[in-house]
Structure 1
Amino acid sequence: MMQQFYPQVQHSYRYELNKDMHLAAAHFIPSEDAGQCQHMHGHTYFINITIGGDTLDGLGFLVDFKKIKDIVHKRYDHSVLNDHPEYKAVFPTTERVAEQIWSAIQKELNTQANKPKCLQVVVRETPTSYVVYRPKPEELK
């Protein structure tokens, strides 16, 4: 496995959890302005999720790694992103994918008693291109 390093997000939490995963998915951007991307094509996306918090749960986890993987991998792996309801009003660009991953993870984290926060989502579309999504501070409250 290749080690990947991502931009660090500044925070003051005691704990920082990072989860790497990859998934295969197809998409297209239905606009002539998208050039070749207007045609259906696929990627092996590499994703890094950063979660912070000050309090651990009863098991001693900030959040279970498996829970994070399940939220993302079960939803998007081997799918056509355009078919997902969250991309009906917007195109599934890498930026939007990162934003939607953050939204799904934070929604789950909000249900946990220890209230961890998803601080950053990195979505690598190709070996040379990736997007970093960081929520605004008010979105973490």
Structure 2
Amino acid sequence: MMQQFYPSVPHAYRFELNKDMNFSAAHFIPHAEAGKCQTVHGHTYFVNVTVAGNELDASDFLIDFKLLKDAIHKKYDHSVLNDHPEFNGKFPTTERLAEQIWQSIEAILKTRDNKPSCLQVIVRETPTSYVVYRPEQGWLR
């Protein structure tokens, strides 16, 4: 994977980790304004997840990188995004995908004793286009 530099989130946490990962998936956007994207097509999505916190876990990790990758890669790799229940009633755009990835990661982090937070998710759909998802202000624990 080519090294990427992404926008950072200002914060006061002691630790920050970033995990890059990728997966291949297909989707379509069934809306008249979607143009060619109305037809099923695929992407190799590149994802960056930023997690931060003040405390490490019993293994001295903020969170194990593998847990982050497994949660996303196993869920979406070689699938049709439209078939996932979290997109029921929503179009599986890159914006919605970034939001859903954040929700999946945040759900895992909430179960951790050290309570880290997911600050942002970046999803690159093509070499020239990406989306940054950040939760609304006030969500931090």
Which residue in the other structure is 1:47 paired with?
A: 47
The alpha-carbon deviation at position 123 of structure 1 amounts to 0.1
Matches for 1:1-141 after TM superposition, within 5 Å: 1-141=1-141
The alpha-carbon deviation at position 89 of structure 1 amounts to 1.2
Return the alpha-carbon distance in structure 1 between the equivalents of residues 17 and 67 of structure 2: 13
Return the alpha-carbon distance in structure 1 between the equivalents of residues 68 and 46 of structure 2: 14
Q: Which runs of 4+ in 1 moved over 6 A?
A: none
AA partner of residue 110 (structure 2): N
The alpha-carbon deviation at position 32 of structure 1 amounts to 1.5
Please provide the CA RMSD for this pair: 0.7
AA partner of residue 137 (structure 2): P
The alpha-carbon deviation at position 139 of structure 1 amounts to 2.5
The alpha-carbon deviation at position 2 of structure 1 amounts to 1.4
Return the alpha-carbon distance in structure 2 between the equivalents of residues 139 and 104 of structure 1: 15
Q: Which runs of 5+ in 2 are unaligned?
A: none
AA partner of residue 103 (structure 1): Q
Q: Which runs of 5+ in 1 are unaligned?
A: none
Return the alpha-carbon distance in structure 1 between the equivalents of residues 83 and 73 of structure 2: 15
The alpha-carbon deviation at position 120 of structure 1 amounts to 0.4
Give the SS at the match of 1:66.
Answer: helix
The alpha-carbon deviation at position 138 of structure 1 amounts to 2.4
Give the SS at the match of 1:5.
Answer: coil
Question: 1:96-122 deviations in whole A, cap 9, x for unaligned?
Answer: 000000001001100000000000000
Q: Percent identical across equivalent pairs?
A: 66
Number of residue equivalences: 141
Return the alpha-carbon distance in structure 2 between the equivalents of residues 133 and 140 of structure 1: 15
Give the SS at the match of 1:36.
Answer: helix
Give the SS at the match of 1:137.
Answer: coil
Question: 1:8-37 deviations in whole A, cap 9, x for unaligned?
Answer: 111110000000001000000001210000
Return the alpha-carbon distance in structure 1 between the equivalents of residues 15 and 74 of structure 2: 26
